[in-house]
Amino acid sequence: MKTSTFVLASIAVAAGVFGGLQLDHALKNKGQGNSAVAFRESSTTGTPVAFSTDAAGAVQAAPFDFRAAAKRATASVVSVDQYRNLPLNRGMFGDEDGRTVEREVGQGSGVVLSEDGIIVTNNHVVQDGSRFVVHMSDGRTLDAKVLGADPRSDLAVLKVQAKNLTPIEMAPITSVEVGQWVLAVGNPLGFSNTVSVGVVSSLKRDLPVGEVGLTNAIQTDAAINPGNSGGALCDAQGRLIGINSAIASGNGGSVGLGFSIPVDRVKTVVQDIVKYGYAKYAGLGIVRWPDETIANPSARQQLAEEAGKDNVPQKGIIVRQATGAASQAGIKPLDIITSVDGTAVTNFFDLNKSLLTKKPGDKVSVSFWSKGETKTADVTLQDLQPERRL
């Protein structure tokens, strides 16, 4: 049986091969001004489904026509090209002569959220580029600026200088159910304005993608391929329910297992980036050792020697540095965090998820091992700013 792997649905054009790009450092470009995005939302159900009645009188949904939904969605979905200066020549021994040339290094998709040019895409679509070009659905080509990017959500916000764009309508996340029809709209393999149709296969999937993972993702069998990253997952009325981000695949292409960041998460992160230049998170204020450290016999032996105890937990987050909230609660370097609010924390992903919906000022109960003793402390979470801490 072939094992599936999770990859981010992007394409490295310069290399011409599929690639699972890692979720790396956040771009810290600050947004201009403190204006918020006025998302285009609707409480209407759009075009109704036609119904028929069978011989027994039971009501059955008739086949759905997706033309109207596709027309609405494609008007708000763009393709995003990223460019970077690369060495022009290499000598016989691989040395460079210092000259560079700008080359296209990747393609993805994006979704227009405001009439004045706010566009959301994936963090991994923009993380390797230095210049970005957006191709609008009406044929225009515009340079785009990165207002901010957030690796924890795999979202980024672009801004183009344009007016009277068509922002996509957003559906409430509470309307999304398993089994409903959905459309994936984007730029797969460079084929712009591509629409594929499927259903919501599952909800609230947690995926081990990149460094921090994706949480509460929408799973769909609508075809998502490299280049779809940052594009729209829409309901049958053409309203946005998620941003396409990753696929599970054994061959790098679509096998009917695609994953999207839910629209409520998108709204929160975009609003933060537009207002502050970064996505706001509440956290403990710690820097951690890598997840695999605690399973390393040598590292565990060192911890045991440091503590003078041999009851080192086998799972948890080893604190490398504690500042702010964590330090004030008595958490110190080489302590091991084992649970938050009673939920076990075995790795970075668990800790990230446990704090994801928290706000600065919220209190959480943290259990941790410290020099042989198990302790519990109430921690008042701090605003992390754009730092790579929890």
Cite the active site residues.
Answer: 124, 154, 229
**Is 373 exposed, middle or buried, given 0-12, 13-18 or 19+ CB atoms closer than 10 A?**
exposed
Whole-number Å distance between alpha carbons of 377 and 285: 14
CA distances from 224 to 91, 228, 379 (A): 40, 6, 41
Is residue 134 a contact partner of residue 142, using CB atoms and an 8 Å limit?
A: yes
- In one-letter notation, the amino acid at residue 38 is A
CA distances from 48 to 40, 45, 53, 54 (A): 20, 7, 16, 19
Residue length of the chain: 390
| Pairing verdict, β 5-8 and 59-61 | unpaired
Whole-number Å distance between alpha carbons of 17 and 258: 19
Whole-number Å distance between alpha carbons of 141 and 164: 15
Whole-number Å distance between alpha carbons of 146 and 77: 17
**CA atoms in the 13 A half-sphere facing the CB of 287:** 5
Residue that the structure tokens 């600050």 belong to: 30
Is residue 158 a contact partner of residue 146, using CB atoms and an 8 Å limit?
A: yes
The 3-state DSSP class for residue 269 equals: helix
Enclosing H/E stretch for 307: helix 297-307
